[in-house]
Amino acid sequence: MTRKPSALDATPQAYGARRRILNLTAAILFAGAATDAAAQPTVIAALGDSLVQGYGLPEAEGFVPQLQAWLAANGAPEVTVLNAGVSGDTTAGGLARVDWTLTDEVDAVIVALGGNDLLRGIDPAETRRNLDGILAAIAARGLPVLLAGLPAPDNYGAEYRDAFDAIYPDLAAAHGAMLFGNFLAGIGGRDLAAARPLMQPDGVHPNAEGVAAVVAAIGPSVLELVTAAQED
Q: Any idea which residues carry the catalytic annotation? A: 50, 202, 205
Q: 65 with 208: CB under 8 angstroms?
A: no
Helices 158-165, 167-175: inter-axial angle, 10-degree rounding: 20
Q: In 10 A of CB 32, how many CB atoms? A: 10
Which among 176, 188, 212, 166 has a CA at the least distance from the CA of 70? 212
How many angstroms separate the CA atoms of 111 and 84, rounded?
10
Which among 217, 186, 216 has a CA at the least distance from the CA of 199? 186
Q: Which amino acid is at 231?
A: E
Strand 145-148, strand 108-112: pairing: parallel
Rg over alpha carbons for the chain, rounded to the nearest Å, is 25
Helices and strands, number each (H, E), in the chain: 9, 5
